[in-house]
Amino acid sequence: MSVFHAFAPAKINLYLHITGKRDDGYHRLDSLVAFTNIGDALRLEPAPSFSFVVEGPMAGALAGQPTEGNLVVRAARGLAVALGLPPDPLPPVRLTLVKNLPVASGIGGGSSDAAAALRLLAAHWGVGADDPRLHNVAASLGQDVPCCIDATTCYLCDVGATTEPGPLLPHTDIVLVNPNKALPTPAVYKARTGGFVPPARLEHAPRDARELADMLAARGNGLTDAACHILPDVRDVLTQIAATPDCLLARMSGSGATCFGLYPDRAAARKAASDLLAARPDWWVVPAFVPTAEATTKA
């Protein structure tokens, strides 16, 4: 039996508008999502029985949590059910998650991990990557999971489970910064106050990172104030990113606490990351980029 590998890229919400609220309490979103060149990794290999292992620099954040509650295992069980396979016990494979991204951080780590697991298991079970059952299972796992299946630039609509293609973005160098503190998404939505804003899709595909930053400056993240209220460190992160030389834009991703800065080139992003880490060695600071043509999900 073959060994399969999948990359689970970090996603960033370039902007996130709260456009309304449904009767069931879920918020309606308009958000432009892009994927980066950094993320977690997942490996599937033969084993005597099913097992799930987490390793890597951020594995400690998941230590002690029930295996059954991890989105990777839930994805495996959900896809088995959808394909008519026994969900318990699951087929004899070993899934190893290399956790590089901070947890509960607004960059879709768990969602991207689940999507990677669906792609891996689909390949292992001989199911096409475009099989609608993958997307159905993804939607049942969380609002960010469906967009992570393809991991390409898209707009999140309604409560996030519905996506539409986004514009072709230019290569954009970024720096991701997290204060190494988790920020649960439900708490941020609960703390949100204020009204709603209309959708604000980009008028056209930006030519370069500078034009992208200019276009995003007219938009925002409707969860920032709530996140800062719960975790004031987020405001500090945004302030320090904005103060770095050549920063084109500083913004929070998703419900936080990870924030990002856009930069005109790789040298500026690396310099900013170095300065930020020197000032705050207790933070998670990583230079990265949004590729022009995203081909980040090969299994």
Residues assigned a catalytic role = 11, 144
Structural tokens at position 126: 């001989």
Sheet holding 172-178, edge to edge: 249-252, 259-263, 172-178, 284-290
Neighbours of 285 (CB within 10 A): 23
Q: Is the alpha carbon torsion for 269, 275, 276, 277 positive or negative?
A: positive
Structural tokens at position 152: 């390409």
Rounded CA gap, 185 and 29, in Å? 14
Structural tokens at position 9: 């890229």
Rounded CA gap, 94 and 53, in Å? 8
**DSSP alpha helix (H) spans, the chain:** 71-82, 109-124, 132-141, 145-150, 185-191, 209-217, 224-230, 233-242, 266-279
Rounded CA gap, 263 and 285, in Å? 15
CB contact burial 164-183 (16+ within 10 A = b; e otherwise): eebbebbebbbbbbbbbbeb
Rounded CA gap, 134 and 246, in Å? 41
Backbone angles phi, psi at 194, to 5 degrees: 100, 180
What torsion, rounded to 10 degrees, do the Cα atoms 26, 32, 33, 36 define? -150
Which residues pair with residue 173 across a beta bridge?
A: 263, 289
